[in-house]
Amino acid sequence: MEKNFIYLLSILFCCAILFSTCEKILPPAPADHELLDGPISGLSGAENARFLKGDIAFNDEVFTTQTGLGPLFVATSCGSCHAGDGKGTPFTTLTRFGQVDHTGNRFLHLGGPQLQHRAVLGIQPEYIPVGATFAKFTPPANTGLGFLNFVSDEDLLALADPEDANGDGISGTPNWVTLRVYLSPRTNAISRDGKYIGRFGKKAAAYDLLQQTANAYNQDMGITSNFEPHDTYSGHEVDPEVSNQTIQDVVFYLQTLKTPLPRNVSNPLVSTGKLLFQKIQCAACHRSELKTGYSPIPALSFKTFQPYTDLLLHDMGAALDDGYTEGTATTAEWRTPPLWGLGLSKNSQGGKYFLLHDGRAKSIEEAILLHGGEAQKSKNQYQALSSIEKQQLIQFLESL
Ligand SMILES: [Ca+2]
Ligand SMILES: [Ca+2]
Ligand SMILES: [Ca+2]
């Protein structure tokens, strides 16, 4: 009897511990304005249904050997790296390798540019060849991509200043990329020497969301399609393992993912911080406002939005130079990342910040302090702010 009582007590005690630790481990369910996954408003019923189909393919479809996984791969589903469509962590990085000069990638015959460090049973995974330099990439948040996709080339070129004609030390340039055979140029596309303006990926080397998607299936999961039919292991063309329809549904899903909503906008610290952001030149690259041109999706057509990017490449200095090039992007050049959703990025990063292309910055301030090159002057101005002004600027960034 007494034994049983002690037994019961210890069970109760364990439960209490379990519950109290669970409370600490499980964050409270996020409110709607804190969620990134969800469609933009203004979609038709048919468009919403298509969004859902893409959502399922993106988040729920986990590939296995039976459904075509590999033989070389990095992960088994889009959602495993892009959880909740938020930013990923250093545990979900991709590695790409090449060399320091920008003569094209000399390691393509050795599995470049992307490393597949996993393989199905009986196949040797890849390793980084001797002599290759490499960069690590954390997954970006996939929010508001449709808006970025439908900004006109003309608008982007108007933001570029390759020769720094206005002398502010900032010279954004587009990444001019060769179109994959299955891509067609967007409405009113501008081309130079047969190349077009890339806008997705951390070096802006992907032309559009179709390229990004077909490439991710192929390179990240070893899933071939009519668009990217070559098996990454054998190099041979093989039958498609994902349908055109599914790829197009995923593209539609990415295009119609909503934009993060700013929070605490009426807080005076936040509005002062916003003014400082403009004043110390952050907004010269992190452009607060862009607009879309025509889009076949009416909810994306001719809209103004606040992404805090110019989608252009900037030389960020020696500290961020990984010795890896992509398209016309040199080793120290990175595309300005959109800052919308910055304050929410911790939600998908285990409550921590992992910022910059490889997640090396553990706080917003650390990310700013790693800015160099074209952003050196702006960084200096940040360092010259009073500690109260720094707090205001960071509160503004956290409100995005
Ligand atoms: Ca395969
Ligand atoms: Ca490879
Ligand atoms: Ca300039």
Q: Domain extents for the chain?
A: 39-255, 268-399
pTM: 0.92
- What is the structure's pLDDT at 350? 84
Residue 178 bridge partners (DSSP): none
Alpha-carbon distance 74 to 392, whole Å? 40
Q: How far is the CA of 165 from the centre of ligand 3 (A)?
A: 6
Band (349; pLDDT cuts 50, 70, 90):
confident
Nearest to 139 by CA among 180, 183, 83, 101: 83
Determine contact, residues 213/200, Cβ cutoff 8 Å.
no
3 state SS of 342: helix
What pLDDT score was predicted for residue 10? Answer: 52
Q: What is the pLDDT of residue 104?
A: 86
pLDDT-based confidence at residue 348 (cuts at 50, 70, 90): confident
> Is the CATH number of domain 268-399 3.40.1190.10?
no
- The tens digit of pLDDT for each residue in 226-238 reads 999 999 999 999 9
Q: Give me ligand 1 centre to Cα 201, in Å.
A: 23
Mean pLDDT of 185-192: 95
Task: Return all residues near 172 (Cβ < 8 A) that are at least 6 apart.
Answer: 159, 160, 161, 162, 285, 310, 312, 313, 314, 336, 374
Centre of ligand 2 from the C-alpha of residue 212, in Å: 16
Beta-ladder partners of 197 = 176
What gap in Å lies between CA 262 and CA 400, rounded to an integer?
5
**For 307-335, what is each residue's pLDDT tens digit?**
999 999 999 999 999 999 999 999 999 99
Q: What is the pLDDT of residue 152?
A: 97
Q: How far is the CA of 270 from the centre of ligand 3 (A)?
A: 27
Distance 185 CA to ligand 1 centre (A): 28
Closest ligand to C-alpha of residue 377 is 3
Distance 172 CA to ligand 3 centre (A): 7
Reported as half-sphere exposure (CB side, CA atoms, 13 A), residue 295 has a value of: 23
The answer to whether the beta carbons of residues 176 and 189 sit under 8 Å apart is no
Ligand closest to 118 (CA) is: 2
Model confidence over 129-176: pLDDT tens digits?
999 999 999 999 999 999 999 999 999 999 999 999 999 999 999 999
For residue 112, how far is its CA from the centre of ligand 2 (angstroms)?
A: 5
Distance 156 CA to ligand 3 centre (A): 14
pLDDT tens, 46-93? Answer: 999 999 999 999 999 999 999 999 999 999 999 999 988 888 888 899
CA of 149 to the centre of ligand 1 (A): 29
Average pLDDT over residues 235-242: 97
Which one of the ligands is nearest to 239 CA? 1
The more confidently predicted of residues 348 and 29 is 348
